[in-house]
Amino acid sequence: MDFLTIKLQTASHFSIVFLIKRFKISQIQFSSFFYRSFFYLLHRLNMLFEEDKYRFMHAALKEAEKAFEKDEVPIGAVVVHNGKIIGRGHNQTESLNDATAHAEMIAITSASATLGSKFLDECEIFITAEPCLMCSGAIILSRISKIYFGTFEPKFGAAGSVYDVFGNKNGLEIYSGLMADESRNLLHAFFSKMR
């Protein structure tokens, strides 16, 4: 967690406390509807990414939810070209009995089929969790230009957590923390359910 993230979370907390004291309402009266609405507004004011980036990451989260429903590790990915989703994928390693059936691999394969090209150099990929070594290699080889991911992966992450595969790979841009809480919460819910 970087300084900016801590600063934004602290500002959000103090803003809620201020509203509760200012309008003399209890925390119970500050219902979940208002809570969500308030955070939505704060989120809009403090957006670190452009609005369409959140929309694409939301689509990746929807893919992750599909994996969750199938008792797969809930990771989802979408590939975007010129503002349009051209490839989607979610983990299917258990259902396909295939260790390579990661969300990123499936989304990249789908995007390549859509464009009719093995190179996706004008594309962006949105992933709910940091890519592993295998998926990072596929991203590099497919020449995707930008990576957006949600939460870091402390066991297998290859974009800085455990490994740093990307380094300075020909102008590849990597952005982390996009909807990280939502991605992390889904993973925690899955692993709690599996215990």
Active site residues: 104
Contacts of 121 (CB under 8 A, 6+ apart): 143, 144, 145
Where are the strands (E) in the chain, listed by range? 76-81, 84-90, 123-129, 146-151, 173-176
CA angle, 85 as apex, 84 and 87 as ends, to 5°? Answer: 145
- Residue 19's contacts (CB-CB under 8 Å, 6 or more residues apart) are 25, 30, 38
The secondary element (H helix, E strand) that includes residue 192 is helix 180-194
